[in-house]
Structure 1
Amino acid sequence: MGHVSYAFNDKVSIGFGPTISRISGEISGMVPNPLSPGSNDGKLKSNGDDTALGFNAGILVQATDRTRLGLTYHSKVSYHLDAKSKLTGGIFSLLGVSGRSYDASLDVDTPESVDISVTHQLNVDWTMYLGSTWTRWSRFKELTIENSGLPALLSGALGTVSEEQNWHDTWAHAIGAAYRLNDQWLLRAGLSVDQSPANDTNRGPRIPTGDRTVLSFGAGWTPLEEVTIDVAYSYLQEESVRINETSSTRGAYSSKYRNSASGFGTSVSYRF
């Protein structure tokens, strides 16, 4: 969506813009057979989507000829997912409800965050970047699905399905640099560290995330005055985390996770 900005003078400017965000997801899990736990279990799968509004607001300060400071606020976005829950297999086949779908709903808030950034031009060729982001993940207390229209035999156990999360607020910090090789080429590199919002008690296999470190490299090529082609590569590595779950119905589960990922992106900009 568009945004509006206003410059008080050549040093200070502010901006505001609404956002439209869409979320969709699927959650599934095994449902124990109450007559014989651990055998002939069923499966519950829920999926839904929603679109919601938010906004961004920020201030930019040209502190010196070479140093620029920025502060940006990203609002909380509240979603109400209209979903469908489907029962399959196991005990549900014995009850004659396997394959049936029921109405469901899920409320999710993506939290507000605040970005602080500093850009400093060392000289004509080198530019340095520093940034930190605070995110209010403590809003994410639990993941709860409300199912309606279930048979009376199942409504007590599956009417409300909830998993505790109890996430906490996090900080992420980043440092980067850009080097202008010549009039056509700009090289970039960056390093960021990001706290995991999950805690050791409630962390589960659904979101087995740990503190992460991201290393990025990129380049911008301007073959023509109006055209710039950017490419970037990032490698993400999370610390190893251990999950230990014990349930009277599902038994015990223990595992160690160490996640990593690589990403590659490219874009083309044309200036009129």
Structure 2
Amino acid sequence: MQPSHRYTRLTAIALGIAGVISFGSAGATGFQIRENSVKNQGRAFAGSAVAKDDASVVSNNPAAMVNLDSTTVRTDVTVIDLTAKFRGGGTSAAGTPLTGGNGGDPGDAQPVPALAIVVPLSGAFDKVTLGASVSAPFGLKTEYDRNWVGRYNAIESDVKTIDLTLSAAVALTDRFSVGFGVIYERAEVTLTSAVDLGSRICAGNPICRSPASPFGPQRNDGLVDVTGDDNGLGWLVGFQFKPTDKLSIGYSHRSEIDHDISGTVDFTVPAAVAGAAAGNPGLAALIADGPGGAKLTTPSVDTLSVSYAFSDNFRMMADVQATDWHSLREVDIRRHNALNTQVGFEDFEWEDTMMYALGAEFDLNDAFTLRAGVAHDETPTNDRTRTPRLPDNDRMLYSVGLTWNASEHLSVDAAYTRIEIDSPKIDVMSNSGSHLVGKYSGHADLFGIAAQYKF
């Protein structure tokens, strides 16, 4: 017989995707974050795998580290500010109208930092370049009002992934280089939602027919809080090819990273429910606290970049990026008991996505460089299964940026990106049996600043 203590098993996205901000990741669709370089941001992330003077290539394409000829340290911070609004309503499991407001603005401004160092070797190893970086490739945070109309689907969602990447590049010729990296990833997840315990208690129970009953739909909400963390390993490989002095082509592949999340599941219940549970073993088991676990896989990412210098002071870049979301299909939450009881199920059916970016740079003089770019980013979500935890949709990105070369050693970058998100629709059932219908509207603003020092 399986142990009777509570054990919650979630499939690939139960703790991963279910913990992202309300429009997925404001910086990219799904829960992907590309903001590890303010220079790249100023071009709408075009040219990320062939960047010539940017230490962030440690994690974007290690083969491009050969573009740096001296030890270089770079630090970036991008603030992602999401503005979102929900309009809609629905019905409880009993068919009564859902109570509550629109949830407020679930997205607060969130800083996304990154740090990278590139070290070209010398002597017998002068064709080798080493690098290290710390970045956050997936996740963000949202929090709705505790009593909003969609509380049975989501209240708080918080996922953080922190990567330590160690990379090496080898210049096989003056025009062709290869690179490889090892990724150590830390994942931390918290998600909460309300549970309509009043409806569950009343299901088939004659006591609830009385107007004096303390139980009923939306009258005895509980709160479930799931937290967990894990460490995982992945890898990164890429190449850079320069057919001519003006043309550069780069490709990189980032692997999937598997996590076995472990943590806890905690219930907060009203006094009336706690009292009823004392004489009801089934209800007591439903709201029992205990250990939990999950399988989380962050997706693989393939990036192809091209850069062409039309003149000494004008360059254009393009990116095509594919993100492998197809393995993130569903949330199946179960207790590890004799009946393998299902606590909840959400069917996401995510699909692979493409991002297309076009950017340009113009050197005004030796001190200042201007940038701009535009990108189209597809969503992995769909109208059939979209939920308030993931009301993501296709988006357009419009970016501007600049670099100030303060000296031959120090440069400072700044960038701004406006993200326009197609309004996603919601038509979904919760694990409490409620039906939520509505529509989101919103946008995101990204403000980035960075500094780079070359020794």
* Preserved CA contact (<8 Å) 2:334 2:341: no
1:35 corresponds to 2:223: no
Match of 1:254 in 2: 437
**Residue 104 of structure 1 aligns to a residue in which SS?**
strand
1:93 aligned counterpart, secondary structure: helix
Partner letter of residue 398 of structure 2? L
Per the alignment, residue 201 of structure 1 pairs with 384
CA distance in structure 2 between the aligned counterparts of 1:248 and 1:269, rounded to whole angstroms: 49
1:156 matched to 2:337? The reply is no
Correspondence list, 1:1-272, <5 A: 1-33=165-197, 34-36=200-202, 38=217, 39-90=219-270, 92-94=273-275, 95=277, 101-147=289-335, 156-158=341-343, 161-246=344-429, 249-272=432-455
Indicate the larger mover: 260-269 or 178-187: 260-269
| Distance in 2 between residues matched to 1:101 and 1:271, nearest whole Å | 53
Structure 2 contact 335–341 (Cα < 8 Å) conserved? no
- 1:101 is displaced (CA, Å) by 3.3
* Residue-by-residue CA offset, 1:88-118 (whole Å, 9 max, x unaligned): 1247533266996310001111111110110
Alpha-carbon distance between aligned partners in 2 of 1:80 and 1:87, rounded to the nearest angstrom: 22
Change (3 A) 1:266 1:99: farther
One-letter amino acid of the counterpart of residue 170, structure 2: Y
Contact 1:172/1:194 (<8 A) preserved: yes
Asked if the contact 1:132–1:172 (Cα under 8 Å) also holds between the matched residues in 2, the reply is yes
SS at structure 1 position matched to 2:350: coil
Supply the distance in 1 between the matched residues of 2:287 and 2:341 (Cα, whole angstroms): 20
Q: Distance in 2 between matches of 1:217 and 1:248?
A: 43
* Structure 1 position 155, deviation (Å): 7.5
Q: Secondary structure at the match of 2:341?
A: helix
For the Cα contact (< 8 Å) 2:345–2:431, is it kept in 1?
A: no
Deviating more after overlay: 3-12 vs 84-93: 84-93
In structure 1, distance between residues paired with 2:190 and 2:249: 40
Question: Match of 1:78, SS?
Answer: strand
Residue 301 of structure 2 contacts residue 321 of structure 2 at CA under 8 Å; is this kept in 1?
A: yes
- Mapped to 2, the partners of 1:190 and 1:247 lie a distance apart of 40
Tell me the distance in 2 between the aligned counterparts of 1:157 and 1:31. 14
Structure having the larger proportion of residues in helix: 2
Instruction: Report if aligned partners of 1:106, 1:144 keep a CA contact under 8 Å in 2.
Output: no
Task: Structure 2: state its 5+ residue gaps.
Answer: 1-164, 203-215, 279-283
Structure with more strand by fraction: 1
Letter of the 1:176 partner, please give it.
G
Q: Is the 8 A contact 1:104 1:148 kept in 2?
A: no
- % identical equivalent positions: 28
Give 1:246 deviation, angstroms.
Answer: 4.0
- Describe the superposition over 1:27-84 as per-residue Cα deviations: whole angstroms up to 9, x where unpaired: 2222232123623132211011112111110010002110000110010011111111
Deviation at 1:200, TM superposition (A): 1.0
Question: CA-to-partner distance for each residue in 1:158-208, whole Å, 9 max, x for gaps?
Answer: 3xx332111001100000001101000011111111100001111111110
Q: Which runs of 5+ in 1 are unaligned?
A: none
Residues of 2 paired with 1:74 and 1:21: CA distance? 12
Question: Residues of 2 paired with 1:68 and 1:269: CA distance?
Answer: 22
What amino acid sits opposite 1:54 in the alignment? G
Decide which moves more: 164-173 or 28-37: 28-37
CA drift of 1:247 comes to 6.0
TM-score (norm 1): 0.91
Q: Is the 8 A contact 1:105 1:145 kept in 2?
A: no
CA shift, 1:227, in A, is 0.4
d(CA) in 2 for partners of 1:156, 1:3: 45
Once residues 228 and 107 of structure 1 are traced to their aligned partners in structure 2, the CA distance between those partners, rounded to angstroms, is 42
2:380 aligns to what SS in structure 1? coil
Moved more, 241-250 or 214-223: 241-250
Distance in 2 of aligned mates of 1:200 and 1:132: 25
Deviation at 1:24, TM superposition (A): 1.4
Q: Is the 8 A contact 1:216 1:235 kept in 2?
A: yes
Residues in 2 aligned to 1:167 and 1:246: alpha-carbon distance in whole angstroms = 17
**1:99-149 residue CA offsets vs partner (Å, 9 max, x unmatched):** 963100011111111101100001011110000101111110113445558
Aligned partners of 1:65 and 1:29: how far apart in 2? 56
Give the CA RMSD over aligned residues: 2.3
Q: Which residue type is aligned with residue 9 of structure 1?
A: T
